[in-house]
Each structure stands twice: as structure tokens, then as C-alpha cells.
């Protein structure tokens, strides 16, 4: 099909009470316009035009990587018809087969299947409208039909008679129109109505009056899919709806969710079999959970892979990491970007890691900072160990072999190497390399002063 898409996104969204352009507000971690574009992209249209006005530069910057998009500027928001007019110079209206799909940037949950059906239906029609039958039509354009059910016009709430206000079938705003016809009708639009705007919806009456034009409506069932966002309450409502959908998909895939209403996914979560997720887990970006992974309560995981049977205990935060099979993380661990935990590792409470490879079976069970390091297998990092990776200017590396033991409350001043089987005495400051099979004692020798008296108050 020879299709162009026009997305209307020029409105300020006054009722959002925000400086951020309305279509950049987020649902499930992606902007509303991003969601619309994701659904639209799957249609493989010839061109996608976005009509912007308020915050145009900011919106464009957010999609700077999408060189395929055509931007049209609407300086003044004079109505939906006027908005579409701004995109028309970019549409090849000499092509009699060209169709235009109109979408709204603030109707984020519209999905590809619906659009694809509407576009298919439009192949035999001049104009196809996506409509909804609802008990709450207030504020929306009503679909006016004759006794035989033929569509005659769309009447906006503010222009509707009392009788027309009783109509429950409403215009979702989404429609597919023949491009040359639309171009012709847009020329004839006037703003002689209650809002003094150029209504796109007025083209429906023009199409109905044209004997050569076929009109059709496709009625959609899911109200949320066509719900527009005008304020933060509607944004929050759609966010919950979106998250419930995500939770339902996980449940269907066999994931155990302790409470499907207390999980948030802002990106793409892939799960293996027998995954268990406790309450208030947050997943961002691309996250993969292998088979048998358990995620505890209040865990945040971003852009990470968790291998089979790893357990993430409550309160842990993981970002940009690769967690190996049967690894145990937390409770209250902070795993930062560049962390690789090999299989059977343990990172316990109040341990922070960054840019660190932790070898198979190695453990840091309590209170430690491990940054810019490579640890071999079966290393034990005692409580309170700090890897001093930063000298105030540059970062340096700490390299640790297999079976190394770091006694509690030690500092390892990088760059430094500890070879296999090295043993660091508790409370050491290690600033030179430790050879294999060697004990390093890096602390002042203890002196005992006998007969010493505590100071007393005078």
C-alpha cells in the first residue's frame, strides 16, 4: 500500500502543567510520540510526517537518530485540519493511490494490529475512520449516521446539538484518507465553528457528500488504546494500563509475579522459564532474566543480563551488568556498569561494584567497594575492603589472581597486582604488588603500652 503517515504533535498540552512538550511525556519509559512511532513504523509507510509546533526543537532533538522522519512546522495551532495542511507539501498528492494515515502524538497506546486492519480496510474506501462506542463521549467528536447507518459527518462536542450529544459513537481522531482527495478537501475547510478552528473532521461531511467516495468506520473495543492524554491523571492512568498489559504478558509466559500490579517495565524484559519476581521490581532498558532467576522485592535492574538460577535479593540495584549462573546479589547491593559476575559468585549487602570482573566462585559478602578490578576464581573479599581506583586524576586497575584472601578493612591502592594464593592481613593498606603464596601485612605494628592510664577530667 502506498501510505504516508501524518502524526499531529503541535499542541502545547496546557493541562499537563509542564514545560515539557506534551508528546515527550513518558509511558513505560518511552515518550508518547515514541510509542506512536513504534506502532507506525511497523506499517512501513513511504513517509512519516510529524507536525510540531510547541517545543518543536526539543521534540526533534529527541528523535535526532530518525533521519527518515519528515518534520512539518505549525507555528500557530489553528486546528487539526490546519495541522494536517502543514504536512501536505511533503505528500505526493499527484499519486492517486496515495493514502494518508492521521495519528495523534498524544494517543500513545494505539497498536500496530489495529492500524494495520484500518489501513487494510481503507484500501477499498476513500476515507476510513477509527471509532469507539463509549458511555463517556463528552468532549469528543460524535459520528453522525443516517437511519441506514451511513456516516454523514463528525460533529464536535462544542458544535453538537443536544440530540447529537446523545450519540455514543465517537471519533478517535485516527483515520485513513485518500491523499489527493484530502488535499482538495483541506482547501475547502473553513473555521466557521464554535472553536474558530480548522477541523480535520469536517472532511468527513465533504466525503459523505461526494457520490464517488466510499466511507467506512472501524469500531475499536479497547478504550485505552485510543485514549488521548491531556493531563497527568490520564498519563498515570495509561501508564498503569500499559504496565498491567506487560504484567499480563509475563504471567502468560509463566513468570511468577507476587503482585502483577507492583511491577514496572520501562523497556524490554525477556524472561526464561520459572522466573519469580517479588513486589516493586523495576526493569529499565533491555533486561534478560534466565531460567529460574529470582528477583526480590524492591529491586531495580537496568540494561543487564541475569543468567540461569541467579538470585537478586531485595533492595539491590543493577545497571549495565552481566550476572552469571547461580550468582547471588544483595540484599542491598549496588552493581554498576561494567560489572561481570561469573558463575557462583556472591555479592552481599552494601557492596558496590563498578567495571569489575568477579571470577567464578568469588565472594564479597559485606560492605565493600570493588572498582576497576579483575578478580580470579574463589577470591574472598573481606568486609570493609576498598579498592582505591582513583588517585584524584585517573582511574587505575587492581588485578587479583585465584584463591586470594583479602582480610577485612583493607585498602588496595591501584594500580596493584595480587598473584594467586596471596593473603592480605586485615586492616592492611596494600600499595605494592603481592607475589603468589605470600602474606602481605600492610599496617603499623601494634604496640602495647603497659600500665597506661586513661585521661581523666580535671
Nearer to ligand UD1, 193 or 409 (CB): 193
Among 9, 39, 186, 189, binds ligand UD1 (CB under 6 A): 9
Q: Kindly give the pairing relationship between strand 380-381 and strand 363-375.
A: parallel
Instruction: Please tell me the distance from the alpha carbon of residue 17 to that of residue 230, in angstroms, as a whole number.
Output: 10
Number of CB atoms found within 10 A of residue 343's CB: 17
Residues 193-212 that bind ligand UD1 (CB under 6 A): 199-201
Instruction: Name which of 141, 283, 248, 112 is nearest 205 in CA terms.
Output: 141
Give the span between the Cα atoms of 441 and 173, in whole angstroms. 75
Burial class of residue 129, CB neighbours in 10 A (0-12, 13-18, 19+) = buried
With cell 461531511, the residue in question is: 205
Q: Where are the beta strands (DSSP E) in 74-115?
A: 99-104
Binding of ligand UD1 at residue 355 (CB under 6 A)?
no
Per the CB < 8 A criterion, the answer to whether 231 and 139 are in contact is no
Q: How far is the CB of 152 from ligand UD1 (least distance, A)?
A: 14
56 counts as binding ligand UD1 under rule CB under 6 A: no
37 binds ligand UD1 per the rule CB under 6 A: no
Region from 37-45, 77-85, 114-122, 365-373 binding ligand UD1, contact rule CB under 6 A: 77-85
The reply on whether position 403 binds ligand UD1 by CB under 6 A is: no
Q: Are 402 and 376 in contact (CB under 8 A)?
A: yes
Question: Residue 150 Cβ, how far from ligand UD1 at the closest point, in Å?
Answer: 19
Active site residue 366: yes
Q: Pick from 74, 305, 345, 398: which binds ligand UD1 (CB under 6 A)?
A: 74
**Nearest approach, Cβ of residue 100 and ligand UD1 (Å):** 14
Contact mark string toward ligand UD1, 91..120, x via CB under 6 A:
-------------xxx--------------
343 closest CA partner among 355, 321, 328: 328
Task: Indicate whether 132 belongs to the interface with ligand UD1 (CB under 6 A).
Answer: no
Size of the site for ligand UD1 (CB under 6 A): 27
Among 228, 292, 315, 331, binds ligand UD1 (CB under 6 A): 228
Residue 51 interacts with ligand UD1 (CB under 6 A)?
A: yes
Measured CA to CA, the distance from residue 287 to residue 413 in angstroms comes to 34
SS3 state at 330: coil
CB 143 within 8 A of CB 169: yes
- Determine the interface stretch with ligand UD1 among 28-36, 72-80, 338-346, 363-371 (rule: CB under 6 A): 72-80
Question: Which of residues 132 and 329 has its CB atom nearest to ligand UD1 in the complex?
Answer: 132
State yes or no: residue 24 binds ligand UD1 (CB under 6 A).
no
- The residue with cell 533521519 is 67
Q: Which of 35, 49, 311, 366 is catalytic?
A: 366
Q: Catalogue the active-site residues.
A: 366
Amino acid at each position: 500500500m502506498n501510505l504516508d503517515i501524518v502524526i499531529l504533535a503541535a499542541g502545547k498540552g496546557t493541562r499537563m502543567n509542564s514545560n515539557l512538550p506534551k508528546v515527550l511525556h513518558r509511558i513505560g519509559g518511552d515518550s508518547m510520540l515514541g510509542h506512536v512511532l513504534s506502532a507506525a513504523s511497523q506499517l512501513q509507510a513511504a513517509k512519516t510526517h510529524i507536525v510540531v509546533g510547541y517545543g518543536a526543537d526539543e521534540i526533534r532533538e529527541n528523535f535526532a537518530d530518525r533521519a527518515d522522519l519528515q518534520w512539518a512546522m505549525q507555528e500557530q495551532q489553528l486546528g487539526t485540519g490546519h495541522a494536517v495542511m502543514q504536512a501536505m507539501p511533503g505528500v505526493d498528492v499527484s499519486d492517486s493511490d496515495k493514502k494518508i494515515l492521521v495519528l495523534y502524538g498524544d494517543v500513545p497506546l494505539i497498536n500496530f494490529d489495529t492500524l494495520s486492519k484500518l489501513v487494510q480496510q481503507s484500501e477499498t474506501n476513500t476515507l476510513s475512520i477509527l471509532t469507539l462506542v463509549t458511555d463517556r463521549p463528552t468532549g469528543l467528536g460524535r459520528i453522525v449516521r443516517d437511519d441506514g447507518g451511513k456516516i454523514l459527518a463528525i460533529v464536535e462536542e462544542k458544535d453538537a446539538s443536544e440530540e447529537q450529544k446523545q450519540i455514543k459513537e465517537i471519533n478517535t481522531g485516527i483515520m485513513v484518507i485518500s491523499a489527493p482527495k484530502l488535499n482538495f478537501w483541506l482547501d475547502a475547510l473553513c473555521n466557521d465553528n464554535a472553536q474558530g478552528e480548522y477541523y480535520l473532521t469536517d472532511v468527513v461531511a465533504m466525503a459523505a457528500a461526494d457520490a464517488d467516495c466510499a466511507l467506512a468506520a472501524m469500531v475499536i473495543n479497547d478504550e485505552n488504546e485510543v485514549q488521548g492524554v491531556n493531563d497527568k491523571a490520564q498519563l498515570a492512568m495509561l501508564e498503569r494500563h500499559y504496565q498491567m498489559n506487560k504484567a499480563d504478558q509475563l504471567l502468560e509466559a509463566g513468570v511468577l509475579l507476587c503482585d502483577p500490579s507492583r511491577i514496572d517495565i520501562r523497556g524490554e524484559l525477556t524472561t526464561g522459564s520459572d522466573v519469580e519476581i517479588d513486589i516493586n521490581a523495576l526493569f529499565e532498558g533491555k533486561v534478560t532474566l534466565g531460567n529460574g532467576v529470582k528477583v526480590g522485592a524492591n529491586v531495580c535492574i537496568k540494561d543487564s543480563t541475569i543468567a540461569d538460577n541467579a538470585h537478586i535479593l531485595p533492595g539491590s540495584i543493577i545497571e549495565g551488568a552481566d550476572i552469571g549462573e547461580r550468582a547471588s546479589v544483595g540484599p542491598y547491593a549496588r552493581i554498576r556498569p561494567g560489572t561481570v559476575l561469573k558463575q557462583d559468585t556472591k555479592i552481599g549487602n552494601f557492596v558496590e561494584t563498578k567495571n569489575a570482573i568477579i571470577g567464578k566462585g568469588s565472594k564479597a559478602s559485606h560492605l565493600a567497594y570493588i572498582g576497576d578490578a579483575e578478580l580470579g576464581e574463589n577470591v574472598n573479599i573481606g568486609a570493609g575492603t576498598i579498592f582505591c581506583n582513583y588517585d584524584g586524576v585517573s582511574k587505575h586497575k587492581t588485578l587479583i589472581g585465584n584463591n586470594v584472601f583479602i582480610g577485612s578493612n583493607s585498602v588496595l591502592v591501584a594500580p596493584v597486582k595480587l598473584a594467586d594464593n596471596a593473603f592480605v592481613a586485615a586492616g592492611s593498606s596494600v600499595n605494592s604488588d603481592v607475589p603468589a603464596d605470600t602474606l602481605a601485612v600492610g599496617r603499623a605494628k601494634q604496640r602495647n603500652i603497659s600500665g597506661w592510664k586513661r585521661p581523666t577530667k580535671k
